[in-house]
Amino acid sequence: MQAKYNTRHSVAFERHDHRHCQHQLLSEAKALCTKRNTRLTRRRLQVLEILLRSHQPMRAYEILACLNRVESKTMIAPPIVYRALEFLLDEGLAHRIESRNAFISCDRPGHQCAAQFLICNSCEKIAELENRNSTVISEAASLGFSVDHAVVEISGHCAECRKNGS
Residue 21 binds Zn ion, judged by CB under 5 A? yes
Counting residues that bind Zn ion (by CB under 5 A) gives 9
**Separation CA 41–CA 152 (nearest Å):** 30
Least distance in angstroms from the C-beta of 112 to Zn ion: 10
Give the residue, chosen from 18, 43, 83, 96, that forms a contact with Zn ion under the rule CB under 5 A: 18
Candidates 116, 122, 129; CA nearest to 160 is: 122
Least distance in angstroms from the C-beta of 38 to Zn ion: 17
Nearest to Zn ion of 21, 85 (CB atom): 21
Residue 123 binds Zn ion, judged by CB under 5 A? yes
Contact criterion met (CB below 8 Å) for 79 and 43:
no
Nearest to Zn ion of 84, 128 (CB atom): 128
Give the β-pairing of 94-97 and 102-105.
antiparallel
Nearest to Zn ion of 67, 158 (CB atom): 158
Alpha helices in 37-158 (DSSP H): 42-51, 60-70, 78-90, 135-142
Give the residue, chosen from 106, 114, 119, 126, that forms a contact with Zn ion under the rule CB under 5 A: 106
Residue 158 binds Zn ion, judged by CB under 5 A? yes
Of the ranges 10-18, 39-47, 134-142, 145-153, which one interacts with Zn ion (CB under 5 A)?
Answer: 10-18
**Separation CA 28–CA 1 (nearest Å):** 10
Tell me the sheet residues that pair with 105. 94
**Separation CA 2–CA 123 (nearest Å):** 32
Site residues (vs Zn ion, CB under 5 A)? 18, 21, 106, 115, 120, 122-123, 158, 161
